[in-house]
Amino acid sequence: MSGKVFFSVSMSLDGFIAPESLSELMGQQWMELQAWVFPLRFFRENLKLGEGGEEGRDNDIARVTFERTGASIMGKRMFEAGEQAWPEDPPFHTPVFVVTHEQREPWTRLGGTTFYFINDGIHTALELARQAAGDRDIRIAGGGETILEYLNAGLIDEFSIALSPVLFGSGIQLFDGVDSARVALEQIRSESSSRATHLTYAVHER
């Protein structure tokens, strides 16, 4: 049985998921965007940062998002940012399919994460991810361009947004270029913690 295709991102209140340039990625606004994640017990466990960390609803959401994911797909720009930032044992622990024009051999890391570089488009990446994920779900990990390709192609079943209390003003806008004539949303869930508002939608065709 095939799982769902979903994405789950942190978004600023004005709709951005990252600064425009990778060099600004670890700046103050990014820290505020991800501030709900860093204190979590699950985040610390997954990156082997040591004991402790906060439990509660944010932690449960982060853990469930990880556990449901049998394979991830990401764009080359997200991979490039992560290639520098992720530790030897990256936080995926599953196959990851990178859509890119660059030809490159698979890159196997510790902890069950192998990055496969896919040169023939989003459908091929999804097919490979489905095979790898078994009955678990497929996460379109990011970034904005890749998520939008899948959304506009009608390939996303569901998505979650952690809306963070930060304004970017500019950057990579999640829904810039969305095919609004095609994509219709149904709100499934909304809940908030002191750090973020978690919104979940099912995606339907108009």
Ligand X SMILES: NC(=O)c1ccc[n+]([C@@H]2O[C@H](COP(=O)([O-])OP(=O)(O)OC[C@H]3O[C@@H](n4cnc5c(N)ncnc54)[C@H](OP(=O)(O)O)[C@@H]3O)[C@@H](O)[C@H]2O)c1
Site residues for ligand X per CB under 6 A: 9-10, 17-18, 22, 25, 33, 74-78, 81, 99-102, 121-122, 141-146, 149, 172
Nearest distance in Å: CB 51, ligand X: 26
Cβ proximity to ligand X: between 62 and 74 the closer is 74
Nearest distance in Å: CB 25, ligand X: 5
Count CB atoms within 10 A of the CB of residue 44.
17
Cβ proximity to ligand X: between 11 and 183 the closer is 11
Nearest distance in Å: CB 110, ligand X: 21
Nearest distance in Å: CB 35, ligand X: 12
Cβ proximity to ligand X: between 134 and 177 the closer is 177
Q: Which of 158, 121, 115 is nearest to 139 (CA)?
A: 158
The label of the residue with tokens 């959401």 reads 61
Please tell me the distance from the alpha carbon of residue 98 to that of residue 116, in angstroms, as a whole number: 6
Please tell me the distance from the alpha carbon of residue 188 to that of residue 185, in angstroms, as a whole number: 9
Collect all residues with Cβ–Cβ distance below 8 Å to 65 and sequence separation of at least 6: 8, 139, 160
Cβ proximity to ligand X: between 126 and 183 the closer is 126
